[in-house]
Structures are given as C-alpha cells and as structure tokens.
Amino acid sequence: MTDDPSVRRSTRAVLAIGILVGLVLAVETALSTPEQVGLASTVYYYAGEAILAGENVYTVTPPDYDGYNYLYPPIVVLAFLPHALLGSQTAAFALQTILNVAAGTGIAIVVWRGLARRGVSLERVDYALVLGFTLLSSHAITQVIQGQVTLWLAFLLAAGFDALEREREREREREAVAGAAFALAALVKLFPAVIGLWLLRRRAWRGVAAAVATGCGGLLAGLVLFGPDLTIQYVTEVLTGRFRESTFDGVPDPDRSLVTVRRLFAALGVGPTLLTPLALATLAPFVAALYRRVDTDERRLAALLGTLVATLLFMPLQPLYFSLLAFPLLVLLYRLPAGRSRHLLVAGVYCTYAMFSLEMVVVAVGVVPLPAGLEAAVLSVAETVFTAILPPTVGMWLLLFACVSICYDGEMAAHRVPSPAD
C-alpha cells in the first residue's frame, strides 16, 4: 500500500473521468442511436421465446434487429427464459438492467474486499467512485445500455480472482470455486478460457479440474436437454462464423471498432490466414514475461491484468469487453506507487476512454475552418491511422507495457507487502 496523497488523487481522477465519459456516451447513444437501447436483451428475449416454442434458437432474429441472433452455447439460453416469461421486450430489458446493476455492484464489492485485504483504507468518495466505475464508466455503460451479459462475466472473473486470493482459508474449495467461475464465463464467451493459463501458472490443479468439469458439463447438459443438433450447429457454424466475421479480409474498415493487434497486420497487407499466428507470436512473449516472476502481490496483479489485456488484443473484439479488466485494474490503481509503471497504467486507462471514431474526426474537421488542402491532409491521415489502430487499442498496449514494467521495475522492491494469500 502507498500513502502518497498524489496516488489517491490520481486514482480518483481516473475513475471520475471514466464515469463522466460513460455518462456522455450514454446521452450520445440515447440521442443518436436509440435503437441500441435494449438491443442485446431483446435478442435474449426472442431466444428464450424460441426455446419455449421448440424453435431453433440460432435462426430466430428479433423483428426490428435484422442480423442479430443468439450466439451462445445452447445451455446458456436457460438463463434467458425469465426474459421470455415476462412477456415483453421492455420487461426483459428491465430485468436485464437489474441483473447488470447487481453484477456491477458485485464487482465493486469484490474490489472493496480486495483492497481491504491489502490494508487500503477507502473513504466514502472511493466507495462511490469504484461503484460508479463498475456501472457507469465508459468501460461498463454500453453493457447496461444494450442489456449485455458482459458485466456478468466480469463479475465471474472478479469472483474467481477473489477466491484464489483467499484460497489458503479453505484451499481446496476456493480453487474449485475459482475454476468454476472462470469456466462459466468461458462457457458464454469462450475467450475468458485464457485465464486457465493463470491457473496453470499457479499450479491450481483443483481449479483446472473444476474449470474443465464445469465447461464440459455445460456443453454436455446442452446436448442432453436440447439434442446434439444445436450443439453441433453452435460449434461448426455459430462459433466459427462469428470469429470469421469479426476478423479482417483485406484492408480493415476504419469505422469498425475492433481493438486488436490483427488490425495493424491487416492494414499492412497481411492475409487473413496469417493474422492469428502473427497476433499470437506478438503477444505470447508478453504473457510469458509476466509469468516469469509472480513473487509479489503487484506482480501477480500485473500478470492477471496483462493476461486479460493480451487476450483482448489477440481477439477481434470491441471495447465493450474492457469491463473484464475491473478487478486487477482497480486494485492496481489504488495500490501502485508513483513511478514509471503507474504513469503507463494511468495513461493506458485514459486512452481506453477515447472512443473516437473516424466519423467524429470528419465532423470535427467540418466544424473547424481549415484550408482545403490541410483539411484533405488531416482526413487522409486520420483514415490511415484509424485503419491501422484505434485510440483504445493504444490504451491497451500502454496497459500491457505497464504490466511488464511492474514485473521488471525495481520500484516494486521498496513497496512489497504480503499478498492476501501469503
């Protein structure tokens, strides 16, 4: 723990600005794209109706949302039966909002507990900022607006990390809880399965066993309840098709909001078959470096955060998954002392707030009077930049560099405190 008042002030500023940006984003969404409100919960509502009616859940599309379908394993649709039973899209969105508020509050509680274990005393403003960040910041607000399930997954990851930290209280049970929580998150979105690397690094074999049993059990339950056809369709069509549609075939569209290292390679002319191995070759050394030394609490948190960041950079995903970073990111913001690592961390978080698009640049250039030649040059540069990398992607790289810096910077030696699991 650090008692430096500047650290507490900078952390509060980071959280407050994140909340402010999220509120602005919410207003902008409501005014310019109101169809986004309740989009995901509407898909879940019709998916639940399809199962109740004995229809193919993967072919049902909401009337007003052409092209949007249910994309999760068959067993997960059981979670959305209450949405369908409520009888209306509005009621389904209300239920999803309540569940998202509960999940965001759960994340905040886990973070508060994690900080308390580390001897970090929080004032009322800190409790409010952490809760506001998990619910209203630019990392979380889109999930609430659309009625997404990402906050549920973020809570499962946070709960799993919390269980691992407290494993020495009841080692066998805590490891199993963590593994099951990670597997439930992976069952919905698959890519959180990468957290299994952390279980392997910790040699948490009970956690690994619980994760495998939970994941396989979920898929098997889908087979038993709905027959093999839906599971086969999910694996061979939905899962592979979703990944294929989210990557790049040719030069990336500068208006597509995918924060991934693949974007840069595609902009440089790399073909789609090489994007995955190149992305893996680029990011794997970072994760390996983070896992080399995990002998302090800060290094363990950095390894966790770096694993999540590298996963988001590897996958062709949108910024709405930034909420998955909440637990290690918030704890590090309150814990990390002033220095190079903290500067990188804070700068990275600020960049993830920068949800600028090429369209916004075009509008801004149109408002500011510029000579015709300069205006064309600015737009050309902006299009080139947004084709190769987005502002939030810069933030992700800064966060990854911060994690590496934490693991290798000597500044940690003077600030080591026992880990909650020590």
- Residue 168's pLDDT is 54
Whether the predicted pLDDT of 116 surpasses 80? yes
Whether the predicted pLDDT of 242 surpasses 90? no
**Closest Cα partner for 327 from 21, 114, 174?**
114
**Closest Cα partner for 336 from 347, 345, 327?**
345
**Closest Cα partner for 237 from 55, 59, 4, 48?**
59
**Closest Cα partner for 41 from 83, 73, 75?**
83
Structure tokens belonging to residue 213: 């049993």
271-281 burial: b if 16+ Cβ within 10 Å, else e: eeeebbebbee
- Residue 414's pLDDT is 42
- Residue 331's pLDDT is 96
Mean residue pLDDT of the chain comes to 88
How far apart are alpha carbons 149 and 97 in whole angstroms? Answer: 10
Please report, rounded to a whole number, the percentage of residues in the chain having pLDDT higher than 90. Answer: 59
Whether the predicted pLDDT of 167 surpasses 60? no
pLDDT band at 51 (very low <50, low <70, confident <90, very high): very high
Measured in Å, how far apart are the chain's first and last C-alpha atoms? 15
Cβ 131 vs Cβ 116: under 8 Å: no
How is residue 325 annotated by DSSP? Answer: G
* Residue 189 or 127, more confident: 127
Q: What does the pLDDT look like over 222-237, one tens digit per residue?
A: 999 998 999 999 988 8
Whether the predicted pLDDT of 240 surpasses 70? yes
- Residue 67's pLDDT is 81
- Category of 190 on φ-ψ map: left (φ > 0), alpha (ψ -120 to 50) or beta: left
Whether the predicted pLDDT of 141 surpasses 50? yes
- Residues 6 or more apart from 110 whose CB is under 8 A from it? 155, 158, 159, 161, 162, 327
Whether the predicted pLDDT of 368 surpasses 80? no
- Category of 269 on φ-ψ map: left (φ > 0), alpha (ψ -120 to 50) or beta: left
Whether the predicted pLDDT of 412 surpasses 70? no
Instruction: Specify the length of the chain in residues.
Output: 422
Cβ 174 vs Cβ 167: under 8 Å: yes
Whether the predicted pLDDT of 415 surpasses 70? no
- Residue 254's pLDDT is 80
pLDDT band at 422 (very low <50, low <70, confident <90, very high): very low
- Residue 175's pLDDT is 85
- Category of 40 on φ-ψ map: left (φ > 0), alpha (ψ -120 to 50) or beta: alpha
Q: What does the pLDDT look like over 64-94, one tens digit per residue?
A: 888 888 999 999 999 999 999 998 999 999 9
As a whole number, mean pLDDT of residues 352-359 equals 85
- Residue 64's pLDDT is 81
How is residue 162 annotated by DSSP? Answer: H
Whether the predicted pLDDT of 250 surpasses 80? no
* Residue 378 or 105, more confident: 105
